[in-house]
Structure 1
Amino acid sequence: MTSTQLVEVVAGVLVRPDGRFLLASRPVGKVYAGYWEFPGGKIEPGEAPYAALVRELQEELAITVTAATPWLVQQFVYPHAHVRLRFYRVSAWQGEPQAQEGQQLNWQTPGQLDVAPMLPANTPILRALSLPAITALTCAGELGEDAVLAALPARLAAGLSLLIVREPDYARDQLASWVARLAELTRPAGCRLLVNAEPDWLAGWPVDGVHLNSARLAACRQRPDFAWVGASAHRPEELQHAAELGLDYALLGHVLPTASHPDAPPLGWQGLACQLASAGPRLPVYALGGLGDADLPAACEAGAHGVALMRGAWA
C-alpha cells in the first residue's frame, strides 16, 4: 500500500569541473537495493534542507560540502513512500568521496549513462545535467545579423551549446533564412539550435527544437513533438505549467533592467529567488534579462540553472 505521508528528502549532485557527476547505488538492505541515485537522505524534523545535505553527504561519502546551490525539486510516489526530493548542485567539497554505507560510487558523463537501473525519481535530473549553464538568444532584429554572426564563433569556441533564435519581428521566410545561416555555424560545433516561433513553421528546418513564448506556453496542452522544447515564463504558475508539459527548460525574467522592458520593474535577485522557491522548479530555469556571463554565480545562488543572455551575448 502506498504511503500518503510526504517524506522530505535532500540529494546532492556532485559535479566536477569537467562536468562529470557522481551516482551511488542503494546498498543491500534498503528498498530498491542496487538501483542508482544521487546521494542524500531524509531531512530530519526541524532541520534545514541545506544542513541536511551537509550532514547526509558527510555520513554517506565522508566529505564536507563547501559550495552548493538549490536546483530542482521532484516528487514521486513509490509503493512504499511519497517523496519530495530537493536537489542541490554541489560544486565544491573537502575530501574524496568514499562509500561509507556499502554502496558503490560511479562518476558519470552527461548524456552517456553507463549504470542501471536508475531510481525513477532521479531520472529527470539526468536530462537536466546535459543542459549548459549559459545559453544565448539572438537579437538580430536589433543588432543586425552580421553583428551576431561575427560574435557567434567566439561564443561557440567558449562552449556555447544551446542557442535560441528569438526574432519576433521576422516573417516566416526571413526567419527560415536566418535559421539556415545560423545552422551552418552551430551544427558543426555541436550546438543545439532552438527557434522561438510557431512549431508548425519548423518542419524541415535545420533545428533541434522549439522555444515557446509565454502566450504559446499558455495555449499549449501537450508537449510539441521536438527533441528539445523550452519556454519563456514570468510567474511560478507558468513554470508549473511548463513542468506539467514535460518541457526541458524555462527562461524566467526579467531579472535586471533591460531595454526590452523599460517600463516594467525587474525581479532583482531576491525576486528571482522568491519565485523559484515558490515554484519549487521541476525543470531547469535560466535567469533572463539584462544579464552577462559574470551574473552566473548570482543566478545559481538564487536557485536558477544558469543564465540566458541576449544583448550580453553579442557585446
Structure 2
Amino acid sequence: MVNQIVHVAAAVIERGDDHILLAMRPDDKHQGGLWEFPGGKLVAGESVHEALSRELKEELGILVVDSSPLIRIHHEYPDKNVLLDVWRVTGFAGEPYGCEGQEVRWVKRENLTHYEFPAANNPIVAAARLPDKYLVTGVFATEEELFRRLHSAMALGLRLVQFRAPWLESDAYMALAEIMAGVCRESGSTLMLKGDVSLLLEDWVDGIHLTADQLQRLRSKGWQYCGDKLLAASCHSDIELAWAAAIGCSFATLSPVHQTASHPYAKNLGKTLARAITDKAVIPVFWLGGMGEDDLGSIKVNGGQGMASISCWW
C-alpha cells in the first residue's frame, strides 16, 4: 500500500541580525521533541502561501509580509510520505511566540547544525545556511587581477565563491586558494575549492566542489561524507543529483540550463527539464548556465536555491 502524501508548508523565518526562528515539536506529535521550521499541513483548497500565512498566525502570532520560495523536499518516512514546501520569510508583523505552548528560539544561522531536526528537515537546514548566488571564478591573467575581481564580487554581496582555475598547476592553485580563503573569511564569505576530498581535512578549507567525474567515482566506491564542512557537486541529471545526495553533498549545481560561451556544444536542459529535475532533488540546487540576475526570481519559483554564474559577477 502506497502511503498518502502529506503536503506541508514550512517557513525559514529570518531576523535582520542573521538569526532564524526554530520551534520545538510537542512530545505527543510525530517526531516530537525535535526542532523544526514552523508550519503545518495544507487544508483542501489552500495554496502553499495561504497555508503558510494561516499556520504562522496560529502557531506564532505573526503576519507574513515578505516571503519567497526556498526549497521543496520529498521525504519518505516508514509511516508516511511528506512533501515540504519551504518558503523564506524575511518580513513579518508582530513578535513571534509559542501560541500553542511550544518553545521557540532565535538561532544564529551558522549554529543551525547544532540542533536536532526530523530527517526531512536536514535539506532545509542546508538551504537556510546558503545564499542564493554562487560565484564561480573565471579567467584572470595575474594574481593582482584575481584579487581585484574577488574583492569587487564580494562588494556586490557575493558570499559563496568557487575558485575554478583548471589551467593552473596544483601547487600554484593551492597557494592562491589559501590566500583567497583568508580574504573570503575576513568578508564573511565561504570559499569552495576544486580538488580531492582529502582537502576537507585541512583547517583552512571551507568546502570542496566535485566534478561530475569525481562524483561518479566516489559514489561507485560507496564513499560518504559525514563532516560539517560544505561539499558540493556539479550535476547534469536527476541521477547525478541523487548520487550527490547519497554521498553527503550539502548542495549541487545543475547545468547547463541554457547555452553558455564556455560550453557552446553542451546539450542544454532548458527551464522545463531543469525544474522537473530540481523537483526530485533532496538537496539545494543552484542552476548554472546562460542566465542573468533577472532570472533569479524565476529560478526560485521553479525550486532552485539560486543561481551559479561566472559571467554575471566576474
Q: TM-score, normalised by structure 1?
A: 0.80
Overall identity of the aligned pairs, in %: 32
Counterparts of 2:194 and 2:59, CA distance in 1: 44
1:11 and 2:10 aligned: yes
Partner of 1:217: 215
Cα 1:178–1:205 change in 2 (3 A) is farther
**Would the aligned equivalents of 1:23 and 1:37 in 2 still touch at CA under 8 Å?**
yes
Check whether the contact 2:70–2:305 (CA below 8 A) recurs between aligned residues: no
Structure-to-structure mapping, 1:157-168, within 5 angstroms: 157-168=155-166
Per-residue CA deviations over 1:206-239 (Å, capped at 9, x if unaligned) read 4222211111112212235762210001112211
Residue ranges of structure 1 left out of the alignment (5+ in a row):
none
Runs of at least 4 residues of structure 1 off by over 6 A? none
Distance 2:118 2:194 in 1: 34
Query: Cα–Cα, structure 1 residues 255 and 146, in superposed 2: closer, same or farther, change >3 Å?
Result: farther
Q: Aligned partners of 2:80 and 2:102: how far apart in 1?
A: 23
Paired residues for 1:1-315 under 5 Å:
6-27=5-26, 29-44=28-43, 49-62=48-61, 63-64=63-64, 67-77=67-77, 81-91=79-89, 95-96=93-94, 97=96, 99-113=98-112, 118-140=117-139, 145-199=143-197, 206-221=204-219, 222-223=223-224, 227-264=229-266, 266-277=268-279, 279=280, 281-314=281-314
Shift of 1:60: 3.0
Gaps of at least 5 residues in structure 2 are none
User: Residue 73 of structure 2 contacts residue 123 of structure 2 at CA under 8 Å; is this kept in 1?
Assistant: no
Hey, what's the Cα distance between the residues in 2 that align with 1:231 and 1:57? 35
CA apart distance, 1:86: 1.2
Q: CA deviation at 1:76?
A: 5.0
Measure the CA separation in 2 of the matches of 1:308 and 1:220. Answer: 23
Q: What's the CA shift for 1:250? A: 0.3
Asked if 2 retains the 8 angstrom alpha-carbon contact of 1:233 and 1:251, the reply is: yes
Distance in 1 separating the partners of 2:50 and 2:65? 10
Kindly indicate whether the alpha-carbon contact (under 8 Å) linking 2:66 and 2:91 is maintained by their aligned counterparts in 1: yes
Tell me the alpha carbon deviations over residues 67-116 of structure 1, each in whole angstroms, 9 at most, x when there is no partner: 331504152536xx334241412335653345443323333221235996
- Equivalent residue letter for 2:169: A
Distance 1:236 1:55, change over 3 A: farther
What is the Cα-based RMSD across aligned positions, in Å?
Answer: 3.3
